Amino acid sequence: AKTSGRNRLAYFTQSLHDEAQNRLKLMHDMHFAVENRQFELHFQPIIDFASGHVSKAEALIRWNHPERGMISPAEFIPLAEESGLIVKIGDWVFREAAAQAKRWCELYDIGLQISVNVSPVQFQSDALSIEDWLHHLNEIGLDANHLSIEITEGLLLNASDDVKEKLLRFRDAGIQVAIDDFGVGYSALSYLKRFDIDYLKIDQSFIQNLETNQNDLVLSEAIVMMAHRLGLNVIAEGVETQAQRHLLLEIGCDHGQGYFFSRPLPAAAFEEFLVKPVA
């Protein structure tokens, strides 16, 4: 028993070691990932319930690692935040999203808006240059209202003057702002009256059991009512079934995003999705 216990400990220590090694290697590899064109954006359609059409899309980053294949952002974004590389990666995401928005707006005469995720670390960094972003839009000739940003509640709870100022600059420029993962983590709503926000994205944990959990339905309906009274639009995340879509329509939710409509798609596949009407 003693030996096996020791073996287990050895195994455990070894796997902790592997884990740390793995993190270090990813952090190292990430430094070259932008230049080596290993990042890719996927686009998930967001459906306007009123028209049934795709009116927006969320840009979601993927890392095509030479040895490991596609790595989820849930794994490498935290590492990018730790190392500070998130600003450089975020700049790439913004430019890539802008380039696609430009292309799709020219190809299809639709007012498509692409949203990019801006992590709290990235938003608060001095290295984030909104001026550069706006200058870039100017250069490629894309109207800022074709882009929006998704931020999280935590950023606004104890917002510094710097955060407030940046938020104002985004909105003054015409870049709309969405609160991502709304409803989880914080119960303070007071920031909603202090900041000018455009969308609330109801977290997918509320949508998952919409059909069976009466509380989730009540809370979702309350979020929609509150948002509308405040002049905000609501996007439901993680819509996976027709029944969920139906309930969301009933409670007056404005937009839906989720596997029911489409998974996040590479640019070419998203483009095909754009030309086909949504069921």
Among the listed residues 119, 133, 202, the one whose alpha carbon sits nearest the alpha carbon of residue 174: 133
Ranges of H-type helices in the chain: 2-33, 73-83, 86-107, 120-124, 130-140, 153-157, 161-173, 191-194, 204-207, 214-229, 242-250, 267-275
Instruction: For residue 180, state whether it binds Ca ion (rule: CB under 5 A).
Output: yes
Report how far residue 261's alpha carbon sits from residue 275's, in angstroms, rounded to the nearest whole number.
14
Which residue of 100, 113, 117, 148 would you call a contact of ligand C2E, by CB under 6 A? 117
Q: Which of residues 127-166 bind Ca ion (CB under 5 A)?
A: 150
Residue (of 223, 210, 276, 208) closest to 253 by Cα position: 223
Q: What residues does 45 pair with on adjacent strands?
A: 57
CA distance 236 to 259: 12
- Does 231 engage in binding with Ca ion (CB under 5 A)? yes
Contacting Ca ion (CB under 5 A), which of 91, 96, 181, 254?
Answer: 181
**Cα–Cα dist 26/72, whole Å:** 12
> How would you classify the pairing of strands 69-71 and 53-65?
antiparallel
Interface with ligand C2E, residue 176, by CB under 6 A? no
CB 223, CB 205: distance < 8 Å? no
Footprint of ligand C2E on 29-68 (CB under 6 A): 44, 60-61
**Quick check: helix, strand or coil at residue 174?**
coil
Q: Minimum CB separation from Ca ion for residue 174, in Å?
A: 13
Among 26, 63, 71, 73, binds ligand C2E (CB under 6 A): 73
Cβ neighbours around 97 below 10 Å, total: 24
Cβ-based nearer residue to Ca ion, 141 or 231: 231
- Strands 113-117, 53-65: pairing is parallel
Residue 72 as a binder of ligand C2E (CB under 6 A): the answer is yes
CA 98 vs. chain centroid, Å, equals: 15
Would you count residue 256 as binding ligand C2E (CB under 6 A)?
Answer: no
Least distance CB 181 / ligand C2E (angstroms): 6
Judged by CB under 6 A, which stretch of 105-113, 157-165, 214-222, 235-243 contacts ligand C2E?
235-243
Query: Does 180 participate in binding ligand C2E (rule CB under 6 A)?
Result: yes
**Among residues 45, 183, 256, 264, the one that binds ligand C2E under rule CB under 6 A:** 264
DSSP 8-state code for residue 85 = T
13 vs 266, which CB is nearer to ligand C2E? 266
Smaller CB separation from ligand C2E, 14 or 125: 125
Binder of ligand C2E out of 47, 57, 77, 112 (CB under 6 A): 77
Return the one option of Ca ion, ligand C2E, none that residue 259 interacts with (CB less than 5 to 8 A, by type): ligand C2E
Interface ranges with ligand C2E (CB under 6 A): 44, 60-61, 72-74, 77, 93, 117, 119, 180-181, 204, 238-240, 258-259, 264
Interface ranges with Ca ion (CB under 5 A): 117, 150, 180-181, 231, 237
